[in-house]
Structure 1
Amino acid sequence: MTPTQLRAFAAVVRHGSVKRAAAELKVSESAVSLNIGQLRKELGDQLFTRTSAGLAFTPGGLRLASRSAELLGLQDRTILEVSQAGRGRRLLRVAGSSLFAEHAAPGLLELFGARAADLDIELSVRDPAQFETLLLTRAVDIAIGSLPGGLDPALVARPVMNHQIVLVTGPGHPLATGHTSLSRLREQTWLLGPSAASSLGAVPAMLRRLAVSEDRQQIFQSHTAAIEEAKRDRGVAPVLSFTVAQDLTERRLVRVSSAAAPIDGQWHTIRLNAATPAADELSRFAATPRAIQAMVRGTGVTVGRFRPSIHVTLWS
């Protein structure tokens, strides 16, 4: 068995489809089928068959499904550990939801990274719906953000920080005074950050509950950009309350009075049961008063302490 064959099989198991597995791996369907065929020949097992309801896995296929994740994870971990040992450094890969990554991660990771001179921290912005797959495939070491439902037993979640989402607009906007009905609120232009594109979290839940149509939603590349547009009276923005406290005090923004908000949310750390020591330590540290204070304060990050992964999104 080769890692390429196991990755192809693991992708088929995750998606229940050769076509979707090929799309994830960025290879052709024939390449995935070839790898599956080689596994079938070597193991003497059909592994799965196609039915009208989807793929039906044999007992051997189910056993290989669990083992393939373990084997691939062990390979990735070994490669990482050898690389780190050669450089004399450790790498902690953190996946964060967009709200957490933009507003809270800098302060937390700067404070945590200062505790260990040999630790590099890599942060990537991910949809919380992807957290489970990222952790089980060991693509990241720890995830922080909204908690997906029905976590795999191999994962451990720990509550980190409660937060509140409020609605704001500019002082010259029609909704800046008086109580606003839900129907009137629904018809406003909504100024949104990347978190609105996720399926999980307080902001997407609010949009679904209010049934805000897509043509009323403007999604910006950052939540800060959405807030700046709200200051210009161009719409309503759902924001983390602690990020706009100063703007509210100085009347650059005004809270919208409505039954829709405020709403409460909570961030969790999620990691494997057998997580790396650094991931386990960050999970414990993130819930401490010092860490929460750093997240709210939003301390900047020292060059060299934190290396963000870059993900480019084109909005049409």
Structure 2
Amino acid sequence: MQNLNLNSLRIFAAAARHGNFLLASAELKLSQGAVSQRIKQLELELGLQLFEREARGVSLTKAGQELAQTVEKALGLLEQTTRRIKTFGSEITMHVSPSIARKWLTPRLPRFSRQHPDVQLSIEARADVLARPLHHNEIAMRHGKGFPAVAGQHMSALVEVELIAVCNPDLGGLGPTPDIQRILTAPLIQDTHRRWDTLLERWHTTTLSEPLNFNSASLAIDAAVNGQGVAIVPSLFVQDDIAAGRLRKIWTAQDPSGEHLFLVWPKQSIALHPMKDVLAWIEGEFGLDASA
């Protein structure tokens, strides 16, 4: 395959668009002679005439027309790709559960964007833990009692999860400050952690009906907001709903949950921008000093 000079093709494309070497030279900030010489050289390399030289300008030959169409498409593709890859250095992918994404991260993204307008976040919400090691531009937030260590990755506990019971403020039959026995008379809502089941077994008691089960905390919270019962959930997922009056807290677990929200990132990326900025922002949201 014959190697064609990319700069010559750019000059050819400009001349083809304008139908005039002078206008092409103005666009490219070159002399008209330089443009003419490059195009002549390109014609020699191809063994084809690309332009008909006329008194008032130039016009494309049939070969020139076909080449112009292809070169314009190729240059456009190169430009799009160049713009896209320039974002790679500033893009961070966050792997989070759907509940973390919806109930903690998404409401805070506008604040992050204001503080770090040059950083592009890509959110990947998934119920399962990512099986492979994180890449250099990836962060994970995980909620649970612990996860196996992975070589080359750092994991820190952001906060111990506080479990609370919440319900719609208009849910009837509970009163302003219900005790746990009164709460257990209401419809109960839980997610895949089955926390009500665990507590009922620990307390050796039963309820009038089985808890309503959902496969994510965010769905359980939505059901509580809609007045379907009392959900037991991590407090960090319902801060905004409580502040907005969509939910009220009616009970707090006294025993430690043993659950934490973990932050995970590749060790070799901690000093790189924008990874460092994103990590510092997340830790700051929990009142932690990233530089400590």
Give the TM-score, by structure 1 length.
0.47
Report 1 or 2 for greater relative contact order, CA contacts < 8 Å, sequence distance ≥ 6. Answer: 1
**Structure of higher CA gyration radius:** 2
